[in-house]
A and B are shown apart, each in its own frame.
Chain A
């Protein structure tokens, strides 16, 4: 018998990286929220690599933080190593990456959620959605509990009809031998969802005590670690290094000889895997002439000896994995604690979603995270946050939030998903962002704190601090815009020392800062600021001055883009009634149902002539409408 188990504003199915952000965001917007999870001990568990951040992904973590999400704060509390990457490149591509203490991260995230008022956390397996007349009204669990809500968010990751494959064995399973979610997947199909089969994989883990680190290279953390959250106060903690070793001829030979045993090549794996995350067998086959591949040894935490063997993702049979691991320098006597495996799962074809992540033909239903065809903790978390914000909006009749491609990587991610779809697990790369220079890791707060505050996810206290930072930046910029640097002997001497050419004419300090050899401390020597400024304020002033030309160019492009984004396409437009648009383009447009001309122009198969014709119709206000 199905029983009424309670009524909520928002229900979140799943408690992975998407689920936890969704729950937190919904609660912060004021929604009475229920989070259902298969296993309470696995909240925000990292089934693959023990790290968070990196290029593009690290910026997402900061964006999540600027919008009041959890990931940044929790990793700041639980990291074992922090590194700023790309420090010798431009500010747009600098990226923070943390090695996580996996068990601690889970514990801390769980605790954060437990402390939230208005959030109910419950261990349960959801089997069915309650959908009536295209409206989602709740969920039913395997124990026949019916929970009702105005909005439901599915964040089931790789659990849907998950199947683990290891050598010649395979069995239904979620990641890390958890229970898979089978009935929900079937239910989604019944509801008319188009699902796709994707695949991903993970490498074996070994016991640290069996590794001979003397044969590997140390990869230490930064001496002065930065942090993800704008609320974390920078401090130094004892960090744990990672280690670098390499595969070799012997490893590759082993793989070559046993390819027939690989489920990847025997045809056993049918799902589409990500190209950016290939298995070692894939790497050896596709790049056959490479004599070696890097292997990073990454500790899984402070309180465990388990070490993640990054670079060795594989689904080869266990006995080959043993031999493969032991062919590697430093790992000759390594003891495998868990074998690597591949996992296949169902994902939702993401162009079935609106940019709010609401499902197009089921009102009140949202999906977020790996279920939407992405991969990566950060991509999942970013979507979870947005789904939480919008699900709460739907339930409480608040404003929805869609970030555009110039505002955040999260905007790029979601726009790519809902507009272009994806034919493989989607990973964010900096090159996916056309306004990369604007989407920097250093300015995520400048881009998004205001929005976070408006939607109630950023506290007054934090907003106040942010306003103070803004004022400091603005005042100092103003001062430097007016202050003149004169070509004195002392100045030119300092310039020569810094490897720059002599200054001949007086120049405004802000322009002077554009010289590559001149930084803020240099200018400070000659025209000291009245107060000591925090490092992040100085960083903003430097970046904005030095890259002004490029930033302005990007802004102009954004302006043009925004004009197209502002041209809304009415929901009930009838593409069939528009003569002139090519047949293929019509089909794509009907499928994606873009909300703006800008979005329409990014659909592949829709060419400029089609857009031109579309514009003509829209501009003229004589829209062909679906017959009532």
Chain B
């Protein structure tokens, strides 16, 4: 049996300080090497471990500092080439890492697939065969359980609705093909199809955006504090940490030694991150340049931009506004205990619709307001507390992304003037991919749709 290369997070999610992404298959080394900066993994000895960084080759951005174990076939668990990437245990970074290896050619492993391969490749004794069967079954069932739980409610409904729209569209194209002379049915045009696919793409994009937030809420909202020197950044940090009896996690050594502070604000976990030293750098722009700063800031889910009430707005402040203009941010006007010199109107203009909070960290004033603003930003409108676990399943996210690509392909085909029955191939694929999310891959429903939607016959 020829196997493709599979990958999965092989440590329990969200537990433990270290997480491992495991790859198995012919391409394991090649894929790992593409995103690894350090020694050339293709040349290292088997059963060795290497320090380095995971870099996204497209953006050249560093994802993680990691330890990579290289184990070449056949003396591995699966008897295939195996690479294990050990990284810091935060769910977001592990997921990012997994997404990256999937992007570079690995396939997300089915439940129990590593064990299955171990068995197929003769690693596990035949006497264990039945146990393996049970394991595959159990893992599949559990994965289904988890998937179904995560699908409860709105997401499931939404996917069902999108699929219904897609199948109606496909049925429409099909009826034009199989019953070309029936004039009861309006001919589906490229324009109609373009409109439909664009709208559905948009919905999936929204879903993916929400998926990100779902992840954020489990993971903690990556929060960066920025501002000129002496505006009160450190005080803000300390206040938030003290006020909220923060869990300070100190994850020393194996792969990196930075400190992340988790605080819990009205049920929303905030992760105060040090994204490339933003927090400790007084002038981020000066340190790493405008473009790079923008990139770095994009990594944060929320930015707290701190201004000084007692000073006039400087160019440096304006530059910071410019940096965050497309991002979620909250403006803090600190030192409200001192006389106002700041031009409030200009701040309001620069902040646009983002919230502005007045604080005096010394007097411990305005903290409540800040907490409320943070909570509002993430919970109002877009997300309800029930849906906190939204689309956080990597498989779902992966499928949604694939669906989006299929829709893009459909639109590209429309642009290229491809005939309808070819454009339809990608539309049908989208429908199938979305079906995998809700576990519905029955092909016959298209035929059912055809005959219930249209009046056909001889």
A contact set with B: CB distance below 8 Å: 48-49, 55-56, 85-86, 88-93, 95, 203, 275-279, 282-283, 286-287, 290, 293-294, 296, 310-311, 313, 420, 429-432, 434, 436-437, 516, 547, 550, 553, 563, 578-580, 604, 608-609, 612-613, 615-617, 619-620, 622
Name, among B129, B130, B458, the residue most crowded by chain A CB atoms within 10 Å (CB to CB): B458
Q: Verify if B73 is at the interface (C-beta below 8 Å from A).
A: no
- With A279-B457, A311-B458, A553-B425 known, 8 other A-B pairs at CB within 8 A are A89-B421, A90-B420, A90-B421, A91-B419, A203-B458, A311-B457, A579-B134, A620-B129
Contacts of B180 in A (CB 8 A): 55, 85-86, 95
A437 partner, pick from B417, B422, B443, beta carbons under 8 A: B422
Q: Verify if B18 is at the interface (C-beta below 8 Å from A).
A: no
Which chain B residues (434-458) contact chain A, with CB distance < 8 Å? 442-444, 446-447, 450-451, 455-458
Q: Is the CB of B447 within 8 A of A432?
A: yes
Q: A578-B133, A616-B119, A622-B129 are in contact. Are A89 and B447 (CB under 8 A)?
A: no
CB distance from B426 to the nearest CB of A (A): 9
Contacts of B1 in A (CB 8 A): 615, 619
Q: A86-B177, A429-B450 are in contact. Are A276 and B183 (CB under 8 A)?
A: no
A-B CB pair tally, cutoff 8 Å: 132
Which single residue of chain A is at the shortest CB-CB distance from B177?
A: A93
Q: Is the CB of A275 within 8 A of B421?
A: no
Contacts of A277 in B (CB 8 A): 457-458
A550 partner, pick from B140, B178, B422, beta carbons under 8 A: B422
Contacts of A578 in B (CB 8 A): 133
Contacts of A48 in B (CB 8 A): 458
Q: Is the CB of A620 within 8 A of B126?
A: yes
Contacts of B178 in A (CB 8 A): 55-56, 429-431
Q: Is the CB of A89 within 8 A of B174?
A: no
CB distance from B419 to the nearest CB of A (A): 3
Contacts of B110 in A (CB 8 A): 608, 612
A431 vs B182: C-alpha distance in the bound complex, in angstroms? 17
Contacts of A93 in B (CB 8 A): 177, 419, 421
Contacts of A95 in B (CB 8 A): 180
Q: Is the CB of B133 within 8 A of A580?
A: yes
A279 vs B458: C-alpha distance in the bound complex, in angstroms? 8
A283 vs B443: C-alpha distance in the bound complex, in angstroms? 25
Which single residue of chain B is at the shortest CB-CB distance from A546?
A: B418
Q: Is the CB of B177 within 8 A of A89?
A: yes
Contacts of B183 in A (CB 8 A): 294
Q: Is the CB of B129 within 8 A of A431?
A: no
Name, among A287, A609, A612, the residue most crowded by chain B CB atoms within 10 Å (CB to CB): A609
A275 vs B446: C-alpha distance in the bound complex, in angstroms? 13
Q: A89-B420, A579-B134, A580-B134 are in contact. Are A55 and B184 (CB under 8 A)?
A: no
Contacts of B419 in A (CB 8 A): 88-91, 93
Q: A580-B134, A613-B137 are in contact. Are A437 and B174 (CB under 8 A)?
A: no
Contacts of A278 in B (CB 8 A): 455-457
Contacts of A431 in B (CB 8 A): 174, 177-178, 446-447, 450
Q: Is the CB of B458 within 8 A of A609?
A: no
Contacts of B367 in A (CB 8 A): none
Name, among B129, B416, B447, the residue most crowded by chain A CB atoms within 10 Å (CB to CB): B129
Q: Verify if B181 is at the interface (C-beta below 8 Å from A).
A: yes
A290 vs B182: C-alpha distance in the bound complex, in angstroms? 13
Q: Is the CB of B456 within 8 A of A276?
A: yes
Q: Is the CB of B136 within 8 A of A293?
A: no
Question: Can you spell out 10 A-B residue pairs with CB atoms less than 8 angstroms apart?
Answer: A55-B179, A89-B177, A90-B422, A277-B458, A294-B184, A432-B447, A516-B417, A580-B137, A608-B110, A612-B136
Interface of B is mostly: helix
Q: Verify if B120 is at the interface (C-beta below 8 Å from A).
A: yes
Q: Is the CB of B421 within 8 A of A604?
A: no
Q: Is the CB of A283 within 8 A of B455?
A: yes
CB distance from B105 to the nearest CB of A (A): 15
Contacts of B137 in A (CB 8 A): 580, 609, 613
A604 vs B447: C-alpha distance in the bound complex, in angstroms? 15
Q: Is the CB of B174 within 8 A of A430?
A: yes
Contacts of A275 in B (CB 8 A): 451
Indicate with 1 or 0, residue by residue over B389-427, a CB within 8 angstroms of chain A CB atoms: 000000000000000000000000000111111100100
Contacts of B129 in A (CB 8 A): 616-617, 620, 622
CB distance from A420 to the nearest CB of B (A): 8
Q: Is the CB of B126 within 8 A of A616?
A: no
CB distance from A194 to the nearest CB of B (A): 21
Q: Is the CB of A609 within 8 A of B447?
A: no
A402 vs B310: C-alpha distance in the bound complex, in angstroms? 86
Which single residue of chain A is at the shortest CB-CB distance from B425?
A: A550
CB distance from A276 to the nearest CB of B (A): 6
Which chain B residues (171-230) contact chain A, with CB distance < 8 Å? 174, 176-184
Which single residue of chain A is at the shortest CB-CB distance from B171?
A: A431
B455 partner, pick from A91, A290, A547, A553, beta carbons under 8 A: A290
Q: Is the CB of B446 within 8 A of A49?
A: no
Q: Is the CB of A287 within 8 A of B455?
A: yes
Contacts of A553 in B (CB 8 A): 425
Contacts of B290 in A (CB 8 A): none
A617 vs B134: C-alpha distance in the bound complex, in angstroms? 13
Indicate with 1 or 0, residue by residue over B154-180, a CB within 8 angstroms of chain A CB atoms: 000000000000000000001011111
Which chain B residues (291-348) contact chain A, with CB distance < 8 Å? none
Contacts of B455 in A (CB 8 A): 278, 283, 286-287, 290, 293
Which single residue of chain A is at the shortest CB-CB distance from B446?
A: A431
Q: Is the CB of A604 within 8 A of B442?
A: yes
Contacts of A86 in B (CB 8 A): 177, 180
CB distance from A2 to the nearest CB of B (A): 43
Indicate with 1 or 0, residue by residue over B232-272, a CB within 8 angstroms of chain A CB atoms: 00000000000000000000000000000000000000000
Q: Verify if B357 is at the interface (C-beta below 8 Å from A).
A: no
A313 partner, pick from B141, B444, B457, beta carbons under 8 A: B457
Which single residue of chain A is at the shortest CB-CB distance from B110?
A: A612
Which single residue of chain A is at the shortest CB-CB distance from B126?
A: A622
Contacts of A619 in B (CB 8 A): 1, 120
Contacts of A290 in B (CB 8 A): 184, 455
Name, among A431, A437, A604, the residue most crowded by chain B CB atoms within 10 Å (CB to CB): A431
CB distance from B90 to the nearest CB of A (A): 31
Q: Verify if B116 is at the interface (C-beta below 8 Å from A).
A: yes
CB distance from A375 to the nearest CB of B (A): 10
A60 vs B256: C-alpha distance in the bound complex, in angstroms? 65
Contacts of A612 in B (CB 8 A): 110, 112, 116, 136, 140
Contacts of B119 in A (CB 8 A): 616, 620
Which chain B residues (50-88) contact chain A, with CB distance < 8 Å? none
Contacts of A92 in B (CB 8 A): 421-422
Q: Verify if B132 is at the interface (C-beta below 8 Å from A).
A: yes
Contacts of A420 in B (CB 8 A): 444
B422 partner, pick from A283, A310, A547, beta carbons under 8 A: A547
Contacts of A432 in B (CB 8 A): 447
Contacts of B174 in A (CB 8 A): 429-431
Contacts of B134 in A (CB 8 A): 579-580
Contacts of A434 in B (CB 8 A): 443
A56 vs B421: C-alpha distance in the bound complex, in angstroms? 13
Which chain B residues (119-155) contact chain A, with CB distance < 8 Å? 119-120, 126, 129-130, 132-134, 136-137, 140-141
CB distance from A251 to the nearest CB of B (A): 14
Q: Is the CB of A313 within 8 A of B458?
A: yes
Name, among A93, A432, A553, A604, the residue most crowded by chain B CB atoms within 10 Å (CB to CB): A93
Q: Is the CB of A609 within 8 A of B116?
A: no
Contacts of B141 in A (CB 8 A): 609
CB distance from A52 to the nearest CB of B (A): 13
Contacts of B181 in A (CB 8 A): 85, 294, 296
Contacts of B120 in A (CB 8 A): 616, 619-620
Q: A55-B177, A430-B177, A580-B137 are in contact. Are A283 and B457 (CB under 8 A)?
A: yes
Contacts of A436 in B (CB 8 A): 421
Q: Is the CB of A609 within 8 A of B425?
A: no
Q: A85-B180, A431-B174 are in contact. Are A579 and B130 (CB under 8 A)?
A: yes
